[in-house]
Amino acid sequence: MKKSSGVLDPKILVRFGNVSLVAKKIVDGFIAGLHRSIHKGASIEFAEHRQYTAGDDPKYLDWKVYGRTDRLYVREFREETNLKAYILLDASNSMNYSSDTDTPTKFVYAKCLAICLSYIMMKQNDSTGLVVFDSEIKNLVKPSSTRQHFHFLIENIENIETGKDTDIGKTIHRIANLIKRRSLIILISDLFDDQGTVIKGLAHFKHRHHEIIVFHLLDKAEMEFPFEGFRDFIDMETNERIPVDAKAIRNAYKHIFGQFLSFYQRACSERNINYARALTSTPFDYFLYHFLQLRSRKS
């Protein structure tokens, strides 16, 4: 894997806080010359009609079809149908955790990753949408590949704040019912929810023939549990305070957490779901490199 440069260090986010600026530098500095197009071949060949929805470009309206049916339809072309992607961004309160002042929260890291992926796809004229959720869908932006849409998408991502507790599984089911056309689904989450319910939600996407990439974000302390002595641990989603002897429970915690990680890795593999895990202290190019490798293998 290509060695990380300073601009890819997550500490840049903590130091400067401008998510979109950092994301642009990451992409501009890393993907040049690395990412071959995932398109099967650019074309303006007519592909199909679909019913007009608010926000579609009026220049693609087919007035002949309107004259016959009294309904508005837009024409789609091959270059517009090569890839439609939805980024599913977990905005539950557990994503707001960071164990270190030099490390961004999982949510800030996730937002930067979402902008990076959007920027990559925009440069390739791919259509990108966004769904933000906690225990419900907070925001849904339909895919488009225009520059104006990209700026609208980035503005949405930058302004998102974490919300309530999470219900990933049920919310994913709702999202799957909303996305009718075959798409690339990119889930960015810490996956802190009932594991079986989450996997059932992802399986719903597979049933609808979507391709899925899961980016599993974690803080280093969540994996290593480096705490000492008697401490009060607070559930970030319920605010429940639990006093524990950290040293006494460390081995049991790490065993349970290891099972949690193994379950997701195994369950995704069994369902042909692309799964990538990284810590928020990991350089961003890990995610980008993994994503690009996945895409190139599918080309």
Task: Please say if the pLDDT value at position 157 is more than 70.
Answer: yes
Among 184, 189, 192, smallest CA distance to 143 is for 184
Task: Please say if the pLDDT value at position 130 is more than 70.
Answer: yes
Among 275, 68, 78, 105, smallest CA distance to 191 is for 275
Task: Please say if the pLDDT value at position 262 is more than 90.
Answer: yes
CB atoms within 10 A of CB 121: 24
Q: What pLDDT score was predicted for residue 26?
A: 67
CB atoms within 10 A of CB 204: 17
Question: Which pLDDT band holds residue 295 (cuts at 50, 70, 90)?
Answer: low
Task: Please say if the pLDDT value at position 118 is more than 60.
Answer: yes
Question: Which pLDDT band holds residue 232 (cuts at 50, 70, 90)?
Answer: confident
pLDDT (average), residues 109-128: 87
pLDDT (average), residues 108-128: 87
Q: What pLDDT score was predicted for residue 120?
A: 81
Question: Which pLDDT band holds residue 101 (cuts at 50, 70, 90)?
Answer: confident
Residue 60 buriedness (CB in 10 A; 0-12 / 13-18 / 19+): middle
Q: What pLDDT score was predicted for residue 215?
A: 93
Q: What pLDDT score was predicted for residue 186?
A: 93
Kindly report the CATH number that applies to the domain delimited by 6-41+82-298: 3.40.50.410
**Amino acid letter, residue 179:** I
In the chain, ranges of CATH 3.40.50.410 domains = 6-41+82-298
Of residues 202 and 79, the one with the higher pLDDT is: 202
CB 97 within 8 A of CB 108: no
Q: What pLDDT score was predicted for residue 58?
A: 77
Task: Please say if the pLDDT value at position 12 is more than 90.
Answer: no
Question: Which pLDDT band holds residue 200 (cuts at 50, 70, 90)?
Answer: very high
Q: What pLDDT score was predicted for residue 87?
A: 96
**Residues ≥6 apart with Cβ < 8 Å to 164:** 92, 93, 134, 135, 136, 237
